[in-house]
């Protein structure tokens, strides 16, 4: 029998890996994927709590997180395509138009 | 400790998900990252199954691995991201600090989970199996969670329109 | 845990499926020859029946060429994904009811998952990767274009396919494929078998059209349109790996036909069999035979369509998928929902 702690630890580890990805990579698409990684680790926590507490709310929340992630991927990738058209790069260090 | 089938499965899936997550953020080629992220999603789906959440597990595969990651792959191919030299990653002190801080956060969480002496609930197997089924989730979704469910449709519509508008070459 | 029974089933299903594929290749070549007023393969074995075996041997002996600058690991991985996805779909399809064999009753399906349909949907959505990665990793324009086209096509038609399945689900009230077959063994008005093709004719049509698109068959074989794209996503493949792609295409065809039979044509159920006072053993044998005959019929339909219809243009294909199939499937779903709500 696996305890709840194991799931929480695993999810913490994948979350931190995602954070490191966001902070260190410069390819916009890989940064985006690291965000998906973080979302998924949170989903794991939610499902684990839901199963251990016997409360379906956690799994509902995961369902909504997935919908939001789908919407986010569509819009985010559209932004990436638009960026690439304008600047011919996906390096987020070069996409610094906000600090002209 | 007796290694039952369940424990072996859990440790295998956990190792797979951590290893693939590390590969996602270390690969140079975005396509390889996508592939390892798919492996990660599959191992997470397996973990959901060990938690008896069969609906979430299948949805994970259909939505994440089957739809979102295809979209990623599609965009990577469309932009033909072959030129990786320009994106060559440098190691700077900022990044070292970032990694260090991330590890600090991890240690903090590990401490809270493992050593704080918090009482964690134990699993009621029958209940866990019951709430994971498609029937139960469907009933909840269309009764208790009807309002947020309807709202998501507006969110998806907005996302569709937004994506079309932004990906268009010229808005006329 | 009894491991022998599932293993035997796996071996049996693989054997049956591969035999079916070999027969399918042969019959397709003969039928296409008949339609085009040719003779077709007639040299290997009596009436050319061993032609498919000869083809397999030829593919096995050929050199495996990997293009320069191709991504070797992914180039190897792509055909494996294709064939793995195609074959594992068959695991949840019921080929018959319960049969008494060697003193114990055996369910004639590999895994009776209670979310069988979601499993099938998940696997079909995985099939895109094999084709897309094959196109990308070959490092060739034609392959890449073929791969991109095919992934766009598969994604577009997956939607109408999923929506037409939902209509069936509303009627059956279960995600279990065996349950859907059971629901179809009733009768409408006492004489018409309650097959979903009669209850959901619109969904049947949209599903079959989407199945054509999902299996990359003519009139939707855009991913490998020979005159425009050389060979599409498998232009740069040769030998065994090319053979795997061909095999997965035919396995997909068999699987798609089996799914159509299970969801819409009553699966293994035999109408009016219960009035004939047959023994349980005979009934289960007849059920398996019925399933095979129905599947073979659908496959034949696929083959004849392939050799009689011209190919769509790419924009026509997309228009059909998004502007015709999807609205029809959605409307069908709404109407079905209203009717079910009115009668319950």
pLDDT in tens, A53-74: 888 888 999 999 999 999 999 8
C144 touches chain B (CB under 8 A): yes
- Domains of chain A and any CATH numbers: 4-99 (1.10.287.3510)
Same domain assignment for residues B68 and B142: no
Q: For residue A75, give both structure tokens.
A: 């819009």
Number of domains into which chain B is organized = 2
CA distance B25 to chain A (A): 5
pLDDT grade for C216, boundaries at 50, 70 and 90:
confident
* Overall domain count for chain C: 1
Of the candidates B98, B132, B166, the beta carbon closest to that of A23 is on B98
Examine the domain organization and report whether B29 and B94 are in the same domain. Answer: yes
Q: For residue A17, what pLDDT is reported?
A: 92
Within 3-62 of A, beta carbons closer than 8 Å to B belong to 3-10, 12-14, 16-21, 23-27, 29-30, 32-34, 36-37, 40, 43-44, 47-48, 50-56, 59-60, 62
Chain B residue numbers with beta carbons less than 8 Å from the beta carbon of C148 are 74, 77-78
Residue C33 is assigned to a structural domain of this protein? no
Q: Are residues B70 and B30 in the same domain?
A: yes
In this structure, are B109 and B66 located in the same domain? yes
Domain-embedded: residue C15: no
One domain, residues B76 and B49 = yes
Segment C183-209, tens digit of pLDDT: 888 787 777 787 888 888 899 999 998
pLDDT for residue B90:
65
Residue C103 has pLDDT above 70, yes or no: no
Which tokens belong to C69?
């600058």
Task: Say yes or no: B78 and B88 in one domain.
Answer: yes
Smallest Cβ–Cβ distance between B61 and the set C122, C152, C155 belongs to C122
60-89 in chain A: CB under 8 A from chain B: 60, 62-64, 66-75, 77-82, 84-85, 89
Dist. CA C68–CA C242, nearest whole Å: 17
The count of other CB atoms within 10 Å of the CB of residue C320 is 19
The C-alpha atoms of residue A35 and residue A33 are separated, in whole angstroms, by 5
**Interchain contact B133–A (C-beta under 8 A):** no
Is residue B61 located within the same domain as residue B142? no
The CATH number that applies at residue B125 is 1.20.120.1200
Residue C177 lies in a domain: yes
In a domain, C82, yes or no: yes
Query: Residue B88: its pLDDT value, please?
Result: 56
Interchain CB contact of C118 with B (< 8 Å): yes
* Predicted model pTM: 0.89
State the residue range of the domain holding C299: 66-343
Identify which of C71, C119, C155 has the shortest CB distance to residue B70. Answer: C155
> Residue C3's pLDDT band (boundaries 50, 70, 90)?
confident
Q: Is residue C42 part of a domain?
A: no
Pair (B124, B146) in one structural domain: no
Instruction: Please check whether residues B160 and B94 belong to one and the same domain.
Output: no
**Of C338, C343, C169, which is closest to residue C264 (Cα–Cα)?**
C169
Chain B positions touching C143 (Cβ under 8 A) are none
Domain encompassing residue B159: 133-172
Whether residue B155 and residue A75 make contact (CB cut-off 8 A), yes or no, is: no
Interface B–C counts its CB contacts (< 8 A) at 59
CB C129 within 8 A of CB B38: yes
CA pair distance C158, C329, nearest whole angstrom: 12
Confidence at residue B41, expressed as pLDDT on a 0 to 100 scale:
93
Same domain flag for B147 and B118: no
Contact C46, C61 (CB under 8 A): no
Q: Cβ separation of B64 and A26 shorter than 8 Å?
A: no
């Amino acid at each position: 029998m696996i305890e709840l702690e194991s799931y929480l630890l695993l999810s913490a580890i994948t979350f931190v890996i995602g954070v490191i990805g966001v902070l260190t990579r410069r390819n916009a698409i890989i940064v985006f994927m690291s965000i998906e990684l973080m979302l998924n680790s949170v989903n794991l926590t939610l499902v684990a709590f839901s199963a251990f507490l016997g409360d379906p709310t956690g799994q509902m929340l995961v369902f909504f997180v997935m919908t939001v992630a789908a919407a986010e991927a569509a819009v985010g990738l559209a932004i990436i395509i638009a960026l690439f058209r304008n600047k011919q790069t996906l390096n987020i260090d070069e996409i610094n138009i906000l600090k002209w | 400790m007796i290694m039952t089938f369940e424990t072996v499965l859990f440790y295998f899936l956990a190792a797979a998900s951590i290893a693939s997550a590390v590969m996602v953020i270390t690969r140079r080629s975005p396509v390889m990252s996508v592939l390892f992220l798919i492996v990660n999603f599959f191992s997470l789906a397996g973990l959901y199954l060990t938690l008896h959440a069969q609906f979430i597990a299948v949805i994970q595969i259909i939505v994440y691995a089957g739809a979102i990651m295809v979209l990623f792959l599609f965009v990577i191919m469309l932009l033909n991201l072959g030129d990786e030299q320009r994106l060559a990653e440098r190691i700077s002190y900022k990044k070292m600090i970032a990694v260090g801080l991330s590890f600090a956060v991890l240690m903090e969480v590990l401490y809270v989970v493992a050593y704080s002496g918090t009482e964690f609930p134990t699993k009621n197997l029958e209940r866990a199996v019951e709430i994971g089924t498609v029937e139960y989730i469907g009933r909840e979704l269309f009764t208790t969670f009807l309002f947020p469910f309807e709202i998501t449709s507006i969110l998806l519509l907005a996302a569709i329109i937004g994506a079309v508008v932004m990906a268009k070459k010229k808005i006329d | 845990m009894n491991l022998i029974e599932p293993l035997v089933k796996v071996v049996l299903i693989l054997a049956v499926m591969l035999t079916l594929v070999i027969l399918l290749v042969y019959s397709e070549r003969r039928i296409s020859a008949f339609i085009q007023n040719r003779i077709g393969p007639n040299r290997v074995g009596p009436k050319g029946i061993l032609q498919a075996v000869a083809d397999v041997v030829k593919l096995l002996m050929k050199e495996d060429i990997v293009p320069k600058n191709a991504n070797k690991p992914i180039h190897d991985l792509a055909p494996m994904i294709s064939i793995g996805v195609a074959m594992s779909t068959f695991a949840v399809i019921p080929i018959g009811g319960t049969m008494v064999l060697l003193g114990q009753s055996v369910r004639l399906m590999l895994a009776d998952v209670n979310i069988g349909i979601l499993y099938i949907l998940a696997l079909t959505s995985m099939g895109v990767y094999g084709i897309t990665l094959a196109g990308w990793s070959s490092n060739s324009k034609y392959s890449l274009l073929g791969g991109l086209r095919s992934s766009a096509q598969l994604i577009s038609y997956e939607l109408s396919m999923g929506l037409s399945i939902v209509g069936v689900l509303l009627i059956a009230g279960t995600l279990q494929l065996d349950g859907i077959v059971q629901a179809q063994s009733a009768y409408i008005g006492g004489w018409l078998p309650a097959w979903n093709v009669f209850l959901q004719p619109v969904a049947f049509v949209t599903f079959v059209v989407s199945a054509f698109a999902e299996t990359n068959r003519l009139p939707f074989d855009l991913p490998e349109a020979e005159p425009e794209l050389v060979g599409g996503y498998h232009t740069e493949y040769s030998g065994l790996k090319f053979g795997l792609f061909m095999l997965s295409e035919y396995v997909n065809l068999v699987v798609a036909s089996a799914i159509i039979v299970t969801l819409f044509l009553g699966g293994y159920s035999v109408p009016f069999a219960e009035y004939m006072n047959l023994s349980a053993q005979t009934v289960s044998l007849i059920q398996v035979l019925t399933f095979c005959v129905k599947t073979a019929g659908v496959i034949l339909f696929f083959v004849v369509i392939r050799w009689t219809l011209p190919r769509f243009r790419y924009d026509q294909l997309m228009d059909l998928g998004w502007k015709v199939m999807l609205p029809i499937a959605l409307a069908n779903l709404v109407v079905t929902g209203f009717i079910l709500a009115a009668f319950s």
